[in-house]
Amino acid sequence: MSETKGDSQAKSFTAEEIGKHNTRDDVWIVISNKVYNVTNFLDEHPGGEEVILENAGKDATNDFDDIGHSEDAREMLKDYLIGELKGAPPTGAQGAKGSADSHLRSQQNK
């Protein structure tokens, strides 16, 4: 599956799917139930890449709002929008939990 920058088609992603995108080379975040691929923004982020990487694969809404981003920053998000969150928001352990759940389901189906 490939997502293009600024792709605003109504794609939906689960927390499990989002949680898998948590590395420096593949960073998705959720802000206000919208999913963003911010991989190409890491080097440009004025606050440094670390703060984004801390939220990689997770819901970053609280951190984003707490910082008090400018209206320009909020407008820039549109360039990285790839879809919407389907279901509950991802948490820090979601990627690992999702993998474990998948493994358990595959074992039960045998």
Span 15-49, pLDDT tens digits: 999 999 999 999 999 999 999 999 999 999 999 99
List the one residue out of 85, 81, 18 whose CA is nearest residue 55.
Answer: 18
Which pLDDT belongs to residue 16? 96
In this structure, of 70-74, 76-80, 92-96, 101-105, the range with the lowest mean pLDDT score is 101-105
Sheet hosting strand 81-85, strand order edge to edge: 12-13, 81-85, 34-37, 26-31, 22-23
pTM reported for the whole predicted model: 0.74
DSSP state for residue 69 in the 8-state scheme: -
Check: CB of residue 12 under 8 Å from CB of residue 83: yes
List the one residue out of 73, 74, 81 whose CA is nearest residue 8.
Answer: 81
> Measured between alpha carbons, how far is 17 from 13 in angstroms, rounded to an integer?
6
